[in-house]
Chain A
Amino acid sequence: MNCLDYRRELGPEPRRESAEMQEHRRGCPGCAAHHARALGFELALKRALAVPVPDGLAERILLAQTTSERGDRGRRRRVAWFAAAAVVLVGLGLGVHQLRLFSPLAQRLIVHLEHEPAALITHTPLPVEDVERRFTQRGVRLAAPLPAGISYAQACPVGLIGSVHMVMPEREGPVTVFFLPGHDERRSDYADDGMHVRAIPMAAGTLALVAADARHFDTLEASWRRTLEGSPDTAAGLP
């Protein structure tokens, strides 16, 4: 290393010297003096840059932070309360308006139909095993073969009540059949906005028929009673 190399390397970082630089400096009085001057300059520079820090700066920063944090916490708490209230309101809205949890069964069934319009599209009968599987899912044992022509079958809840939801295409339009095992409902006929609903206590549950045209209800009721209860002699609640 020569003097030019030494000074070029010292220039950008006067406080750092490689072993090679140190070796050169020790043997070169000119570069040793240059090094001493450079360090003197660094010392003066560092001292000049160390402007006094205003008194209490750290405390003021911490005060600003804690004050801001308390404000943020208050805002977060308010937002959390609003969010919780909104969730409760939305939940109640969904429960009451969408699921109609507290409305009569007939109304809930009509609403349920609106939520599954695809159920009414197909007219092709499902394999019997598919329909039987839905009853099995609901823990229902069939007493006799299923009525023919069921084109849709799902084990879906109506509000909070478990059901087997089926569709039976008829010439005058589809009839939707719900079987709600374990649900106790009085026999009733209901009509609203062009839809007819019949609820029938059956096989330790309730059978419900929903259609725009109610002319097949009696026939369907009889055939489902055979399927669910077996002999027609045991039928109860017939009109």
Chain B
Amino acid sequence: MRVSSRQRQFDALVRAHNGDLYRYAYWLCGDSSLAQDLAQETFLRAWRSLDALRETDAAKAWLITILRREHARLYERKRLETTDIGELELDDRDSLTPEQLGEDSIVRAAMLQLEPKYREPLLLQVLGGFSCDEIARELGLGAAAVMTQLFRARQKLKSLLVDGRGEASA
């Protein structure tokens, strides 16, 4: 069967970005199966408007914009519950010490407690690798507002981590 160049481009797009998209979706909704659905729906929409993608470098930002819209639509339909720490999946990373794995769990739980307005710019920066200006464009905010949110996001996260570690050691 002959594969079109459009199909090849889409295959490459999925293989290059499905992990980032899934992770981003996961941290938006806090649910693995929902995150998979969101990632899939995002790519299906991307396929339908693939001709709009002109530059390879812009692919990730383009996909994240679609994903955020999909997530917003989902929120219009139902309010999502925050996932409990016990439901979080941990990857099989043998190289990590039990302490590191425990630390990851605490950070993940703290992330899910972070308000969306702080969590989202932080995700775009840490997972997406976007600059403040790029995040500002994506979120429709000013660069100064984004910098303030990123600063506060880390402060709040550190504060939650101190509380989490306190509870873990208690």
Residues of A in contact with B (beta carbons under 8 Å apart):
11-14, 16, 41-42, 44-54, 57-58, 60-62, 64-66, 68-69
Please, which residues of chain B bring their CB within 8 A of the CB of A68?
44
CA distance A116 to B46 in the complex (A): 52
Q: Is B157 an interface residue (CB 8 A)?
A: yes
Given contacts A49-B108, A50-B23, A61-B39, 5 further A-B contacts (CB under 8 A): A14-B154, A51-B27, A51-B88, A52-B92, A65-B44
- Given known A-B contacts A51-B26, A60-B40, A69 and B47 have beta carbons under 8 A apart: yes
Q: Which of B52-60, B64-72, B74-82, B121-129 contacts A (4 or more CB under 8 A)?
A: B121-129
Instruction: Tell me whether A58 and B18 are in contact (CB under 8 A).
Output: yes
Interface SS, A side? helix
CA distance A41 to B125 in the complex (A): 14
Please, which residues of chain A bring their CB within 8 A of the CB of B122?
45
Please, which residues of chain B bring their CB within 8 A of the CB of A52?
89-92
- Given known A-B contacts A41-B154, A57-B39, A58-B14, A47 and B104 have beta carbons under 8 A apart: yes
Residues of B in contact with A (beta carbons under 8 Å apart):
7, 10-11, 14-15, 18-19, 22-23, 26-27, 32, 36, 39-40, 43-44, 47, 88-92, 100, 103-105, 107-108, 111, 122-123, 125-127, 131-132, 146-148, 150-151, 154, 157-158
Please, which residues of chain A bring their CB within 8 A of the CB of B10?
62, 65
CA distance A67 to B7 in the complex (A): 13
CA distance A64 to B37 in the complex (A): 11
CA distance A66 to B150 in the complex (A): 39
- Given known A-B contacts A12-B148, A44-B103, A61 and B18 have beta carbons under 8 A apart: yes
Instruction: Tell me whether A49 and B44 are in contact (CB under 8 A).
Output: no
**Nearest 10 pairs between A and B by C-beta?**
A52-B91, A48-B107, A12-B150, A12-B147, A11-B151, A48-B104, A53-B19, A58-B18, A12-B151, A61-B43
Instruction: Tell me whether B22 and A57 are in contact (CB under 8 A).
Output: yes
- Given known A-B contacts A41-B158, A44-B103, A49-B127, A64 and B40 have beta carbons under 8 A apart: yes
Please, which residues of chain B bring their CB within 8 A of the CB of A11?
147, 150-151, 154
Please, which residues of chain B bring their CB within 8 A of the CB of A47?
100, 104
Please, which residues of chain B bring their CB within 8 A of the CB of A12?
132, 146-148, 150-151
Distance of A153 from chain B, by nearest CB (Å): 52
Instruction: Tell me whether B36 and A54 are in contact (CB under 8 A).
Output: yes
Partner of B126, one of A45, A54, A60, A69: A45
CA distance A13 to B129 in the complex (A): 11
CA distance A69 to B6 in the complex (A): 12
Distance of A78 from chain B, by nearest CB (Å): 19
Partner of A64, one of B19, B44, B90: B44
Please, which residues of chain B bring their CB within 8 A of the CB of A45?
107, 122, 126, 157
CA distance A103 to B12 in the complex (A): 61
Distance of B44 from chain A, by nearest CB (Å): 6
CA distance A26 to B19 in the complex (A): 37
